[in-house]
């Protein structure tokens, strides 16, 4: 990497339509790698040692954690039979079943309750915040793991589908009360080059000093501009829900996301979380 500043500017230009003018002179190779992130669903046939996964898990767990509570755990599943069983519960996708490793990032509020019980001190915070804290802690570790794994040359793809059948997955993994899956992660050596997935304009998602909302019409214009910019680079290969919603003459990101969530998904997740011992009030 001879020119990290130039590489970073190029990668941010591929990702964001309004990246011009960003100062990349600070660039370090780690920033270039982060900007080159691409979820991977294609695996090379190359052994992936458990010891490497555990070292990367340790690196990921160095990330910050709310109140030093460390309310998150990582399950590493590589035993072929266990992995096949988990993949079968997650869903039919071949890339999940074929992944050399499946990790599960869990929120863990169990330990917080245990330490209170052991010390004989009552827990006075049985409300939504503790579910949220554990979910955020697990999400931070998920992101850190991806950065660490990609720096080691691995490819990853998070799997929220693991929550489609949260109850049987929890039973399969032996998750105790107040421990819940936030996301799975397929991990392996990449079998194909990564593809940069364009993001919404920075003008919509980075705000200076206060939330800047130019109004509904301005937001719509920006999103539809992104739809077109993205379509020129990476048109969607297929349309969702054509049978119900027909073929869209122009199919951009906003059409795809609207269609994706036009059907209920994981409507039972709240009930699952409550059954695991959380109050969501
Ligand atoms: C929490 C989380 C859950 C995800 N779940 C899935 C999933 O279940 N299936 C999938 O194919 N991709 C999943 N992804 C990957 C996203 O689709 C992907 O990050 C997004 O399309 C942007 O692409 P990129 O990561 O290559 O930049 C998930 C990503 C995150 C952060």
Ligand 1 atom closest to residue 194's alpha carbon, by position in its atom list? 26
Instruction: Judge if the beta carbon of residue 38 lies within 6 A of ligand 1.
Output: yes
Q: In what order do the strands lie in the sheet with 179-188?
A: 72-77, 101-108, 179-188, 155-159
Instruction: Judge if the beta carbon of residue 164 lies within 6 A of ligand 1.
Output: no
Q: Which residues contact 6 (CB under 8 A, 6 or more apart)?
A: 24
Instruction: Judge if the beta carbon of residue 35 lies within 6 A of ligand 1.
Output: no
For 229, what's the count of Cα atoms within 13 Å in the CB-facing half-sphere?
Answer: 17
Instruction: Judge if the beta carbon of residue 183 lies within 6 A of ligand 1.
Output: yes
Long-range pairs of 4-7 with CB within 8 A, sequence gap ≥ 24: 4/28, 4/29, 4/31, 4/32, 7/32
Residue 228 is predicted with a pLDDT of: 98
Top CATH class of 50-194 equals alpha beta
Residue 119 is predicted with a pLDDT of: 98
Give Cα 86 to chain centroid, integer Å. 18
Distance 173 CA to ligand 1 centre (A): 22
Ligand 1 atom closest to residue 38's alpha carbon, by position in its atom list? 26
Distance 157 CA to ligand 1 centre (A): 6
- pTM for the structure as a whole: 0.97
Segments of the chain scoring below 50 in pLDDT = none
Instruction: Judge if the beta carbon of residue 39 lies within 6 A of ligand 1.
Output: yes
CA distance 254 to 8: 27
Q: Kindly state the tokens that stand for 101.
A: 């490793």
Domain map (residue ranges) of the chain: 50-194
Q: Whose CA is nearest to atom 31 of ligand 1?
A: 158
Instruction: Judge if the beta carbon of residue 151 lies within 6 A of ligand 1.
Output: no
């Amino acid at each position: 990497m001879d020119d990290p500043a130039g590489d970073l500017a190029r990668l941010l230009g591929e990702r964001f339509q309004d990246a011009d003018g960003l100062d990349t002179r600070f660039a370090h190779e780690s920033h270039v790698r982060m900007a080159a992130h691409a979820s991977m669903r294609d695996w090379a046939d190359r052994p992936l040692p458990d010891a490497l996964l555990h070292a990367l898990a340790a690196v990921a767990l160095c990330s910050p954690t709310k109140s030093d509570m460390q309310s998150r755990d990582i399950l590493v599943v590589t035993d072929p039979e266990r992995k096949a069983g988990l993949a079968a519960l997650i869903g039919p996708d071949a890339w999940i079943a074929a992944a050399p490793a499946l990790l599960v990032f869990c929120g863990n509020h169990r330990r917080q309750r245990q330490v209170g019980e052991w010390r004989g001190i009552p827990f006075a915070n049985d409300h939504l915040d503790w579910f949220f804290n554990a979910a955020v802690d697990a999400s931070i570790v998920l992101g850190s793991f991806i950065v660490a794994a990609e720096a080691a040359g691995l490819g990853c793809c998070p799997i929220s589908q693991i929550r489609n059948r949260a109850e049987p997955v929890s039973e399969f993994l032996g998750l105790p009360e107040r421990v819940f899956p936030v996301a799975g992660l397929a991990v392996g050596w990449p079998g194909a080059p990564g593809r940069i997935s364009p993001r919404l304009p920075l003008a919509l998602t980075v705000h200076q000093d206060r939330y800047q909302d130019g109004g509904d019409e301005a937001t719509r214009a920006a999103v539809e501009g992104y739809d077109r910019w993205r379509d020129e680079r990476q048109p969607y290969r297929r349309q969702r829900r054509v049978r119900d919603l027909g073929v869209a003459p122009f199919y951009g990101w906003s059409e795809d996301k609207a269609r994706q969530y036009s059907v209920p998904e994981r409507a039972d997740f709240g009930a699952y979380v409550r059954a695991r011992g959380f109050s969501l009030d």
